[in-house]
Structure 1
Amino acid sequence: MCSNCIKKASAALLLSIALKRKKRKQKGKRIWSQLWYKKRNVLGQKKLLRELEFTSQRDFKNYVRMDKETFEVLLSKVAHRINKRDTVMRKAIPARHRLTLTLRFLASGNSFEDLKFLTAISPQAIGKIVSETCDAIIEELKDYIKLPTNENEWKMEANAFNQRWNFPHCIGAIDGKHVNIKKPPGSGSFYFNYKKHFSIIMMAVVNANYEFLMVDVGANGRASDAGLFSQTKFFKQRKENKLRLPKPELLPGYNEKMPFVFVADDAFPLMENIMKPFSHNSLEKSDIIFNYRLSRARGLVENVFGILVSRFRILLNTLNFSPDKSTKFVLACCYLHNFLRKSKCETYFTAEPCSNVETTEAFETPGSQEKGDVLDSLSSTAIRNASANAKHMRNKFRIYFSSVGTVPWQDKVYNKLVNKNANSNKQLI
């Protein structure tokens, strides 16, 4: 190659380098992180939490949805899963602040962009911290949501339901709830529900103490209630007789053996172990009383959903995450709910103490649906065709509630309903 060619090539290379440097200067210097993020110890939540711990226990509890003692117990359970090591580049965010940040996210429902101003942590880092911590919570608290494993444990649940809600042989209440999410890209109408929202469904079984016995989260919002229920692990275990339910026994003062049952609304199938209300038009007094007694016990699961949403307000929002991440956040809230109910039952939800509260005014008319986000008005499925034996068992409960199993206030509620319907008919005339 001649000397002139070499000079021209060198000049072109130098010109290219100069242009790249000029463009780089125009864009500005890239930095590792925002300068104010480096002042996390001063601007972040560290000092705030320390102040709340020692000067305002009530505000600390409101901040993380638990008192300091319970928070320390939870931290001891998950710390080994969320601890990170310091590097030569920067110091790791301590496990205490990772857990606090996650709890505040679940409790407030604030976006990552909002939380960055409270914590002095980038939104990208917050997303990773929250996801990892929720995984740790679910894994460490997995024993807090579980079904009874033997007949004696099921009978303990039945005794609690009978004492608190006057429904003998009831071992759980079943219902579902929609959790709204942003439409996942490319999903079409897969998550689009009958309420004209995109959602995932949380199916749950709860006991008499406002605790989850089973939670199944993540099904697409357009699935029907009964259809979704038939796909759950719980339903398959029941069908295969793997739940180890107690054998039918005599009810108090009744000379016929009755099965132990779950209670549900009209959207669920009627089975030997699943009772739902009468829904036909011409109802006798005994049918209406049965519906009242059943709805009084079944309404417990809706109360649990209400408690869960009031404590973890992220569930009030439309979750702007993928269905998998949304499922993870909902599950973390459920496990925390049971953890707090078992750890601090007397302070977890002060508006609904752990002692029995009689609700004699509660009543659901036949075929009516509760307002809110619980599942209702869903289409029929094949498993809704009740067997003759299931109908026979429901009739036995109906007779029992109108005879030896009566409670003092059920006639009062029945009379109130009759008067209400009579007044409604007069207004229509």
Structure 2
Amino acid sequence: MEEEEQLRSFLFVMTYMLLKRRRDINTANTHRRNEIHRRIRHRQYFFQRQRRMLMMMIAGGIRSNVRIRTRPWTTTQSTDWWERVVMTEFQPSDWLDKFRMSRDTFFYLCDKLRPRLARQDTSFRLALPVEKRVAVALWRLASNIEYRTISSLFGVGKSTVCRCVRDMCHAIVALLSSVYLRSPSEQELEDSAHLFLSHWGFPHCVAAIATLHTAIITPSNNASDYANPAGWLSVVSQVAVSGRGQFWDVCASFPGGTEPADILQNSSLWASAAEGGLSPNPTPTFMGKPLRYVLVGEACYPVQSWLMKAFPEEKGRRATHTALTERQRLFNRSLSRALRVCDEALLRLRARWQCLSKRNDCGLDVVPTMILACCILHNMCESHGDAFKAEWQAEVSETESPQPNHKHLLSTSLDQSQAEEVRHLFCDYFEQNE
């Protein structure tokens, strides 16, 4: 009996193991078949997707060919518009109107920015050529139109337009600042002093300083700090303009409510000029005395031995006008005439790059870099002799908000006593020449 019980137990165990082995084999076969079917379905889906994309590309090519034959170039498909119209059919006037520079200057800019803007193709898409990236960004800077409009025009996504603008502005500041926005050499100082005397009638002067307000959207924090004296929100920039109407120094990172004197005192221009950085060695002479070159500015700036401003004509807001001497009035008129170099340079800057004349909807992290990039592009176009169209200036004058007036801000807290001696020396010069 015991042997029979052992045999039955043995047979039961063997039967169970055989059944389990058979079940495991069937399960493994089922998993294998499911995996094979899954891979087949995935491959079929992949091939179908490729086929649909190919058919869409073929259909898109057919539609674009139809548009080319039946419509003018202004309404052709965006990719064809860039590759065929812009690159092959644009006339010199078209380059100036759309990109605010000549064709030669455009390709010069592309070559200079290529180390920072060139991208590699990937397995999923072809990288945009540097020329197209630069064209997208320049179109935005020149017109300040919406991203979606530029997106449709060039056949790229809105995020791509935004990225092109950011990348190009940063590349310009990084690669071209040392060429087109730098401290002047001794020869450039002498040339600028000669131009101020011959064109503007002010001697021994190498630059004029002024402010530029760029309208912005309402910031998320401290919006009241960005309200300028005219009542609208802006970022204020300080510029130093040479006798040629080009920018030597730009400080573009202050809220619109900041006073110009505070910007000047916190800028590198203040430290450089105070230490004699804007005058050659040995010190040039003026009216028989050694005197460093000077800058000119409006009444909102403090008078220094290197910074001349007009004699005040009133003592505070409620006081009557003071009696200026004839030589002081002559000095004020001459200085006011010299300050026109800033007005003309800033007007040409805003007219060429209208992102500075209209409200800029970019973030505050981008606006200062964009302002610097536009100033560098202005200097580059002026240096290359690119034409400037009068209609640009007329358009800006009619549409933009007037720049805030800082003339009512009379700065005296940082005035130097020895600066009065320098200012009276200029009065002697104008009185003698009168």
Residues 260 and 301 of structure 2 are in contact (CA less than 8 Å); yes or no, is this contact kept in structure 1?
A: yes
Distance change (3 Å), C-alpha of 1:231 and 1:39: farther
Instruction: State the match for 2:184 in structure 1.
Output: 148
Q: Check if 1:395 corresponds to 2:427.
A: no
Instruction: State the match for 1:342 in structure 2.
Output: 383
Q: Deviations over 1:131-183 (max 9, x none)?
A: 0111112222112111124x444223212221222211101001111111112
Q: Deviations over 1:33-70 (max 9, x none)?
A: xx89x969972255346434435221122111111111
Instruction: State the match for 1:15 in structure 2.
Output: none
The amino acid that maps onto 1:388 is: S
Q: Check if 1:237 corresponds to 2:266.
A: no
C-alpha displacement of 1:122: 1.4
Residues 49 and 60 of structure 1 are in contact (CA less than 8 Å); yes or no, is this contact kept in structure 2?
A: no
* Residue ranges of structure 1 left out of the alignment (5+ in a row): 1-31, 353-370, 407-429
C-alpha displacement of 1:289: 1.2
Q: Deviations over 1:86-115 (max 9, x none)?
A: 212111111111000001100011111221
Instruction: State the match for 1:271 in structure 2.
Output: 304
Separation (CA, whole Å) in 1 of partners of 2:290 and 2:369 = 42
Q: Deviations over 1:258-292 (max 9, x none)?
A: 44210111111101010001112312221111111
Secondary structure at the residue paired with 1:227?
helix
Separation (CA, whole Å) in 1 of partners of 2:358 and 2:100 = 18
Separation (CA, whole Å) in 2 of partners of 1:46 and 1:271 = 58
C-alpha displacement of 1:198: 1.6
Separation (CA, whole Å) in 1 of partners of 2:200 and 2:407 = 26
Separation (CA, whole Å) in 2 of partners of 1:297 and 1:39 = 59
Secondary structure at the residue paired with 2:366?
helix
Secondary structure at the residue paired with 1:177?
strand
Instruction: State the match for 2:263 in structure 1.
Output: 228
Distance change (3 Å), C-alpha of 1:246 and 1:205: farther
Residues 175 and 375 of structure 1 are in contact (CA less than 8 Å); yes or no, is this contact kept in structure 2?
A: no
Q: Check if 1:376 corresponds to 2:421.
A: no
- Aligned 1:158-177 pairs, distance under 5 A: 158-177=193-212
Separation (CA, whole Å) in 2 of partners of 1:106 and 1:262 = 30
- Aligned 1:168-317 pairs, distance under 5 A: 168-246=203-281, 248-251=283-286, 254-280=287-313, 281-317=322-358
Structural RMSD (CA):
2.6
Residues 268 and 384 of structure 1 are in contact (CA less than 8 Å); yes or no, is this contact kept in structure 2?
A: no
Separation (CA, whole Å) in 1 of partners of 2:323 and 2:84 = 63
Separation (CA, whole Å) in 2 of partners of 1:375 and 1:45 = 45
Residues 327 and 427 of structure 2 are in contact (CA less than 8 Å); yes or no, is this contact kept in structure 1?
A: yes
The amino acid that maps onto 1:349 is: F
Instruction: State the match for 2:25 in structure 1.
Output: none
Separation (CA, whole Å) in 2 of partners of 1:210 and 1:54 = 33
Residues 39 and 120 of structure 1 are in contact (CA less than 8 Å); yes or no, is this contact kept in structure 2?
A: no
The amino acid that maps onto 2:309 is: K
Separation (CA, whole Å) in 2 of partners of 1:87 and 1:263 = 54
Q: TM-score, normalised by structure 2?
A: 0.74
Distance change (3 Å), C-alpha of 1:328 and 1:301: same
The amino acid that maps onto 1:111 is: E
Q: Which structure: larger Rg?
A: 2
From 57, 66, 85, give the equivalent of 1:51.
85
Distance change (3 Å), C-alpha of 1:163 and 1:379: closer
Instruction: State the match for 1:115 in structure 2.
Output: 150
Instruction: State the match for 2:43 in structure 1.
Output: none
Instruction: State the match for 1:427 in structure 2.
Output: none
The amino acid that maps onto 1:279 is: P
Residues 239 and 249 of structure 2 are in contact (CA less than 8 Å); yes or no, is this contact kept in structure 1?
A: yes
Q: Deviations over 1:309-366 (max 9, x none)?
A: 110111122111222211111111101001111112xx332559xxxxxxxxxxxxxx
Structure showing the higher helix proportion among its residues: 2
Residues 268 and 276 of structure 1 are in contact (CA less than 8 Å); yes or no, is this contact kept in structure 2?
A: yes
The amino acid that maps onto 2:403 is: D
